[in-house]
Amino acid sequence: MGFLRSRRIRWTRAIALGACMTLGAPLLAACGSGSDSGSGGRQVVVADYGGVTDEGYKAAYFKGFTQQTGIKVVTASADMARYIAMAKAGTSQWDTIDADGFAVVDMTDRGLVQKLPDSVPRSDTVTGKYRDYSAGGYTQSFVLAYRKSAFKTAPTSWADVWDTKKFPGKRGWPNYYIGTAEAALLADGVQGSGLYPLDFDRAFAKLDKLKSSLTIYDSYAAVTQGLQAGSVDMALLPNGRAAVLAKDDPDIAIMWEQNIFYPWSGFTIPKGAPNAEGMAKLLTYMQDPKRQAAFAEQTYYGPTLKAAYDLIDAKVAAELPGTPEHKALAVTVDTPALAAQTDEYIKRYSAWVAK
């Protein structure tokens, strides 16, 4: 999943555009737009969400890969619904998409992606049968970022976020569901080991109690800007965005306690990919500890190869999800369980934001 600009937001279109998945290839244009059609041969097309992850991919992976192989890497604006529709039709214009682990689980279980060739190294973090269908992308956590000067004591739990007497002021909140039900349930006393399957009735009842103290923003970038400007004093954010803020502003800190840890994102090759062979070469190039370390140093998102941690600058490593220290404080997402609930999660959260 980054994410992260509007990463995962377009996953919602997989619900709204579900009918597109039944269309034949000639009608797929109705499910998406753009002139990023893959042509196979000497290029591969990677659909991603722009922003810091796109910059990291280009610097750590794409530039060197093209220099080494002569295969050009073209990026397209990611749209999960379009990716799924094209894969189902077997005539994809893209060779991969930057996807959360729970999205990979869903696509794999539906038979929409190809098994990776043996030449692609398997990730240390991708689990079970999905290791054979997805190369590792990165790890991330959703955390609380806050202004130290706004509070007498530092928040150390999601229950503190809901405690508006001890921690007054507005909270920045995304117009997007990732991590929100988990945070609410943890605030309500649910233990991390018993978090899944998510109890949506309980979660949204808890969110209702905080809603008057929330400023809901349209994007993570806007949440970030609100915290920067002091419009809110704390905010739910992906750790990469929070780390950049904290690096630039010494008044901003990260609450790592109860960080909501997403143990992997991944890259699949869809059915009907225009250059599956070239994409497998790129995925092989990306499954390299040194290159994953370079990506982590630029983005603050963690590697999916354990050996990469030994190569990361110590100051950066201290701010990454997935370190022993941060994993000890984390609540780890159950990726298959979340995959089974994602559609309902999106519908419930969208309705809650709108009411």
Provide the 3-class DSSP secondary structure of residue 101.
helix
Burial class (CB in 10 A: 0-12, 13-18, 19+), 189: exposed
Measured distance CA(169)–CA(147) in Å, rounded: 11
More confident residue, 1 or 54: 54
Provide the 3-class DSSP secondary structure of residue 235.
strand
* Residue ranges, CATH 3.40.190.10, the chain: 9-138+264-319, 140-262+334-354
Has residue 186 got a pLDDT over 60?
yes
Measured distance CA(215)–CA(326) in Å, rounded: 28
Measured distance CA(113)–CA(258) in Å, rounded: 33
Average pLDDT score, the chain: 90
Q: What angle is formed at CA 221 by the lines to CA 246 and CA 340, rounded to 5 degrees?
A: 100
Collect all residues with Cβ–Cβ distance below 8 Å to 328 and sequence separation of at least 6: none
Measured distance CA(183)–CA(236) in Å, rounded: 9
Q: Are 195 and 334 in contact (CB under 8 A)?
A: yes
- For position 71, what pLDDT does the model report? 98
What share of the chain in percent tops pLDDT 90? Answer: 85
Exposure string of 265-298, with b = 16+ CB inside 10 Å and e = fewer, is bbbbbbbbbbbbebbbbbbbbbbbbebbbbbbbb
The predicted model gives 280-306 an average pLDDT of 97
**Position 36 confidence tier, pLDDT thresholds 50, 70, 90:** low
More confident residue, 34 or 39: 39
Q: At the topology level of CATH, where does 140-262+334-354 sit?
A: D-Maltodextrin-Binding Protein; domain 2 (3.40.190)
Chain segment 1-28, per-residue pLDDT in tens: 444 444 444 444 444 444 344 434 333 4
Nearest alpha-carbon partner for 12 in 63, 59, 68, 82? 82
Has residue 38 got a pLDDT over 60?
no
Has residue 181 got a pLDDT over 60?
yes
- For position 63, what pLDDT does the model report? 98
Chain segment 148-159, per-residue pLDDT in tens: 999 999 999 999
Has residue 236 got a pLDDT over 50?
yes
pTM over 0.85: yes
Q: Tell me which of 38-47, 101-110, 301-310, 340-349 is least confident.
A: 38-47
**Position 330 confidence tier, pLDDT thresholds 50, 70, 90:** very high
Exposure string of 27-64, with b = 16+ CB inside 10 Å and e = fewer, is ebeebbeeeeebeeeebbbbbbbbbbbbebbbbbbbee
Cis peptide before 197 (omega within 30 of 0): yes
Chain segment 80-89, per-residue pLDDT in tens: 999 999 999 9
- For position 20, what pLDDT does the model report? 44
Measured distance CA(205)–CA(271) in Å, rounded: 41
The predicted model gives 125-129 an average pLDDT of 95
Q: Are 210 and 171 in contact (CB under 8 A)?
A: yes
- For position 51, what pLDDT does the model report? 81
Q: Domain 9-138+264-319 sits in which CATH superfamily?
A: Periplasmic binding protein-like II (3.40.190.10)
Chain segment 190-221, per-residue pLDDT in tens: 999 999 999 999 999 999 999 999 999 999 99
